[in-house]
Chains A and B, each alone.
Chain A
Amino acid sequence: MHIIELIFSPLLALLIGVFFLGLARKVMARIQWRYGPPVTQPLIDIIRLLSQKSASHGVAFNIGLVMSLAGSLVITLFLPFGKIAPMSNSGGMLVILYLMLIGPLGMAISSGESANPNASIGISRKLLLAMGYELPFLLVVLALMTAYNTTSITEIVSLQRDTGWSMFTFPLVLSGIAYLLILPAMLGVRPFEVVNAPQEISSGPLVEYGGPYLALATLQHALAFFIGISLFVNLMWGGAANPVIFFLKMLVVFFLGIFVNAVFPRLRIDQAIRYLWRWPSLIAFAGLILVCVTGS
């Protein structure tokens, strides 16, 4: 049973991630009064991309990208999806925090190797944005870990079963609000879509990605989207007993993200950091203090 979970949970995550991408394009089109592509469009794109012979800028160009997708795949093993939580006992939340780092690092190395200024600007924006939302995110995660006095994510999920969603339990309300405020930045939706801005820096790190590379990059983007949402649902909305309810909760968060994506213009990178370091960080900091005061 464990082996099947090990193999299928990344595939399931990939499938749901790609489905989310297709749904996102459909919903965006509908919001703009268009029909929009079929929901399976990302799949068609990937098949076409895989058949194109693209240019490669060296070994690190290939390996960096492969490393980044592998890193994201491994995270899905640690994140419980409903009851499926294949590897979440060999290292808890700290491992997830540090694994979330391999994806951007691998992408940064491979697009840095593509020797294109657009890519360099894109990476520096990606790392700055990550720095921006990481400050409040760490405060929120630490508040959760101190409130539930554990670092393993499955325990956090199981504890929430009796204390109710941690977003609405008393000491964690502030952290919940802060997490909601930084969620668009973590998912990379429109107001914070500073990294792959097609108009300004011709899609940032992806500027030199051709056929198979672009396929891997879209899969990595889909997975990052999936991980962002499932982390939020696990930590803040109590995870779920069985995968179906978990998927429904993820859909709700997904629609929230897409509506924000459809409406907002794109921020400049320093505006994004200034926003992320002002209100969400303050609320998250207050949340941590609240947890410390009431908790111990």
Chain B
Amino acid sequence: MLKQELETTFDNITIRMEKKNQLELSITKDGIMSVLSFLKNKGYDHLHVISCVDWIDDKQLELVYILSAYMKQDVPGETEQLNILLKTRIGRDDPKYITSIALFPAAEPYEREIHEMFGVDFLGHPRLTPLLLERDYDIPPFRKDFDTKQYVDDVFGSVPSVEGEDKN
């Protein structure tokens, strides 16, 4: 029922329904905002999380918005909770994207974390300051091409042990 409505309103949307209560939608990056507002009006007003996947071989970052109805009765005719996964792909080197804070204020920390960990620059985000990390990294740590072992060796290895330390 919701599937037909989505197909009619949006043209280049692909919908898959593998699990019982999980609906996967994927769309091009400029259609995301309209789908988000459409779903929000339908009653799916709770943004669980925005996560990001690094497809390094086809040089793309995939943003996943996970939505659901916060209160069951918000959505008429809804038997049990339906989670919607909205996916989109953006280019991997110097990625830019528009922020969704206007629709979901809760998206602010998630977008800051993705900016920090994957380097995605969200335009219009009020404060893209680091959320969790203490130090600054040239390659964002969660990207696949970030070599943790190498990073650990040259950052922590380079700290000299205090003289005469390893005698006992």
A and B touch in the complex (CB under 8 A): no
